[in-house]
């Protein structure tokens, strides 16, 4: 057997495994299939993200009627596109599968309007941003919104200690310690939320979208994300979103 014939056979085997995993995931009852797709497509790349089945099938799942299938399909597709943007520093995957990406984006926006809980809503906005591909830090942005805290760096060039920014039910403040793990009284500094009328760019868009979709609590958090925090060490005020963008 020549090397090429061997490679072709390996490709067939990979294609078969990919097809089987996607079919299992589409049933909506197979968490292991989703976990394997994340491992093989995203984490270790043992399956090829540019295979014609990947984005096409994920778009089919996103357009079907099952929220439990659409949500993970949108999440995975968005993450794969952003990873490809970062890894290859080009947008070839988006270009090659532009019709599928457009279908995924349309589905994400439809599901966004149908969602009834912030915990479902935020991942859909993350997917919208990832599918649009204009910013590559949506994952870091929404991970912090959902976990109600960010661990950021102070922008001071001398490098202060990490700054914990807490926003949500525990309040809206920055601190020098991981508040969730600390039992002691610790010094906190209130956040400075953006005036909604002064928001612009991405902050304006996401804030207004959350209000329009009926998520006032998400809009309130976004005003803090797109506002300022105070470094507990040097007391410098800095843009929270500006430092999150550095994590992406």
Q: By the criterion CB under 5 A, which residues form the site for Zn ion?
A: 154, 156, 160, 231, 233-234
Given the complex with Zn ion, which of 70 and 154 has the nearer CB atom?
Answer: 154
- What DSSP assignment string belongs to 34-92? HHHHIIIIIIS--S-TTSHHHHHHHHHHHHSS-HHHHHHHHHHHHHHHHHHHHHHSS-H
Q: Which two tokens stand for residue 213?
A: 């979709």
Phi, psi of 239, deg, nearest 5: -75, 125
Closest distance of CB 159 from Zn ion, Å? 8
Distances (CA, A) of 70 to 21, 41, 64, 123, 205: 15, 18, 7, 12, 24
Closest distance of CB 229 from Zn ion, Å? 10
Given the complex with Zn ion, which of 160 and 245 has the nearer CB atom?
Answer: 160
Closest distance of CB 233 from Zn ion, Å? 5
Q: Whole-angstrom Cα distance, residue 6 to residue 197?
A: 62
Closest distance of CB 231 from Zn ion, Å? 3
Given the complex with Zn ion, which of 82 and 163 has the nearer CB atom?
Answer: 163
Q: Which two tokens stand for residue 233?
A: 């060490």
| Residues paired with 175 in a beta bridge | 164, 188
Q: Whole-angstrom Cα distance, residue 73 to residue 51?
A: 16
Given the complex with Zn ion, which of 131 and 241 has the nearer CB atom?
Answer: 241
Closest distance of CB 234 from Zn ion, Å? 3
Given the complex with Zn ion, which of 191 and 231 has the nearer CB atom?
Answer: 231
Q: Which residue in 179, 175, 207 sits closest to 193, CA to CA?
A: 207
Helix (H) or strand (E) holding 93: helix 92-96
Given the complex with Zn ion, which of 115 and 243 has the nearer CB atom?
Answer: 243
- What DSSP assignment string belongs to 189-242? EE-BPPPGGG--HHHHHHHHHHHHTT-HHHHHHHHHHTSEEE-TTT--EEEHHH
Closest distance of CB 239 from Zn ion, Å? 13
Closest distance of CB 149 from Zn ion, Å? 18
Given the complex with Zn ion, which of 122 and 154 has the nearer CB atom?
Answer: 154
């Amino acid at each position: 057997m020549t090397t090429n014939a061997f490679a072709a056979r390996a490709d067939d085997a990979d294609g078969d495994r990919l097809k089987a995993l996607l079919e299992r995931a589409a049933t909506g009852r197979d968490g292991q299939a989703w976990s394997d797709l994340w491992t093989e497509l995203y984490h270790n790349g043992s399956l090829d993200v540019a295979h014609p089945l990947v984005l096409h099938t994920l778009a089919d799942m996103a357009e079907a009627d099952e929220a439990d299938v659409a949500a993970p399909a949108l999440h995975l597709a968005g993450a794969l596109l952003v990873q490809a943007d970062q890894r290859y520093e080009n947008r070839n995957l988006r270009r090659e599968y532009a019709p599928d990406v457009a279908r995924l984006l349309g589905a994400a926006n439809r599901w966004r309007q149908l969602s009834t809980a912030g915990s479902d809503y935020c991942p859909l906005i993350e997917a919208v941003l990832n599918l649009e591909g204009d910013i590559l830090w949506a994952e870091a942005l929404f991970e912090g919104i959902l976990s109600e805290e960010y661990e950021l760096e102070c922008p001071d060039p001398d490098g202060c200690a990490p700054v914990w920014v807490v926003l949500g039910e525990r309040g809206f403040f920055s601190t020098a310690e991981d508040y969730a793990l600390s039992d002691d009284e610790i010094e906190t500094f209130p956040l400075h939320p953006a005036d909604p009328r002064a928001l612009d760019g991405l902050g304006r868009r996401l804030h207004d979208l959350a209000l329009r979709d009926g998520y006032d609590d998400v809009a309130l958090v976004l005003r803090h994300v797109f506002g300022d925090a105070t470094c507990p060490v040097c007391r410098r005020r800095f843009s929270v979103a500006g430092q999150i963008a550095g994590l992406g």
